Amino acid sequence: MSRLLVIGASGTVGSELARQLQSAGHEVRRATSRPPGSPDQVQLDLSSRQGLAQALAGTDAAFVLAPPGHVRQDLLINPVVDEARNQGLKKLVLMSAMGADADDNAPLRQAELHLERSGLAWNVIRPNWFMQNFHTFWLHGILSQGKIMLPTGQAKGSFIDARDIAAVAAQLLTRHDVDNRAFDLTGSEALDHDEVAAVLSRVTGRTITYQDIPPQALLDGLLQAGLPADYAGFLVTILGYFKAGHAERTTDAVQTLTGRAPRSLLQYAQDHRDAWLE
């Protein structure tokens, strides 16, 4: 079995990835920004690079993503790529975002290109918007007002369950037949937010609706919640790409790489029903 490092192991995808890899019998080292709470955890600060060499030491492959709250993701990811090459890792899997390759000057694309040119075996996964956002980032509006409030108009998104993203990452970390390729990851269907609200209403028995709001209203709310101004602006910008229709496309990557279809929004909602009933 492989010795694998999961960076961001306390996050939505990373925690599930670590669980899946451990269940498959791999030796997993979980890197988070928090002080270690178990023998398989290491503390890693990507901003200062403190703990980076120690986290990578002795591992065969690593999964990396930039933590939320940062818009210069390349400044966090590129040093990981360099250290992984220096330590002779066999592979690095980078989680980027769908659409990152549309602009070679975008920070995430710069990180992708740095990895591609590193000499390491690599894969890049670019997931679409997470289904899990509906019981995390957008939860407050649902609980307090029964509304999903976003500036996305009637555009559709092929939302993906983070568990499927983790399943793809687990495959890529432990196989080499598809090395040096990037994969856009989506769910199997594209839904607008009215359709999402209808599914959540059906599953919970609550009346949940979607309200299209101005971008400035979202920006004000994110700033009031304490998000850094540059990151709040970044979120509003990429939701603008959603409204422009760039999140509607679907791919078969999850099916191809895992051998099963991605989870539906209905299945996601049933699995997380209690989150919207608090």
Secondary structure of the chain in HEC code, one letter for each residue: CCEEEEECCCCHHHHHHHHHHHHCCCEEEEEECCCCCCCCEEECECCCCECHHHHHCCCCEEEECCCCCCCCHHHHHHHHHHHHHHCCCCEEEEECCCCHHHCCCCHHHHHHHHHHCCCCEEEEEEECCEHHHHHCCCHHHHHHHCEEEECCCCCEECCECHHHHHHHHHHHHCCCCCCCEEEEECCCCCEEHHHHHHHHHHHHCCCCEEEECCHHHHHHHHHHCCCCHHHHHHHHHHHHHHHCCCCCCCCCHHHHHHCCCCCCHHHHHHHCHHHHHC
pLDDT (tens digit, 9 = 90+) per residue, 175-224? 999 999 999 999 999 999 999 999 999 999 999 999 999 999 999 999 99
How high is the pLDDT of residue 69? 85
Is residue 201 assigned to a domain?
A: no
pTM: 0.96
Is residue 219 assigned to a domain?
A: no
73-86 and 107-116 helices cross at what angle (nearest 10)? 10
pLDDT (tens digit, 9 = 90+) per residue, 49-79? 999 999 999 999 999 999 888 899 999 999 9
pLDDT at residue 1 above 70? no
Is residue 37 assigned to a domain?
A: yes
Is residue 200 assigned to a domain?
A: no
Is residue 86 assigned to a domain?
A: yes
CATH of the domain at 115: 3.40.50.720
Is residue 150 assigned to a domain?
A: no
Is residue 144 assigned to a domain?
A: no
Residue 158 or residue 37, greater confidence? 158
The residue range of the domain holding 31 is 3-128+161-186+249-262
Predicted confidence band of residue 234 (pLDDT cuts 50, 70, 90): very high
Is residue 75 assigned to a domain?
A: yes
Q: What's the structural domain count of the chain?
A: 1
